[in-house]
Structure 1
């Protein structure tokens, strides 16, 4: 894969996330994927999430806690 293909895949993943299409987003993860959410005060779902089931739970908790937030990336950089 080249940088542009990597960028396309990431943009597609963000689009799925924004549309709430978590099941299709999770299809792109390896069964043994690890998601690490950095420690932050007052956020209950920080830490290490191992495998698709734990990552799915992370996204569910994120959705429950952050429904008022809107995340809109404006630029994707694959080169350098």
Structure 2
């Protein structure tokens, strides 16, 4: 899979997240995927395995009452695999978050 195809998968993932489409996210994440949520809060830390990652995403949706939306601002095709796991967050207006890959 080339860099352009990887970027498209990441874009699909962001679209699925914003739509609350857990079936598409389940297809995109490997069973043994690992997600890291930075910080010291109750939702921070490593999420090991696809189902734990999806549970984390559902919890984000629940706590934000469905208002959390993410925007992919940039992907670097210089990397073989863009990784939204290695991102920094900035709080944006109206409960939305902007993710920079």
TM-score bracket, shorter-length normalisation: 0.7 to 0.9
| Residue 37 (structure 1) aligns with | 37
RMSD: 1.8
The structure whose RCO (Cα within 8 Å, separation 6+) is larger is: 1
Q: CA contact under 8 A between 2:16 and 2:24: conserved in structure 1?
A: yes
Give the count of matched residue pairs. 78
Q: CA contact under 8 A between 1:36 and 1:48: conserved in structure 2?
A: yes
| Residue 52 (structure 2) aligns with | 54
Deviations 1:4-36 (A, max 9, x none): 111111111111111110222122211111111
Q: Can you give the 5+ residue segments of structure 2 that lack an aligned partner in the other structure? A: 80-101
Q: CA contact under 8 A between 1:35 and 1:49: conserved in structure 2?
A: yes
TM-score (norm 2): 0.65
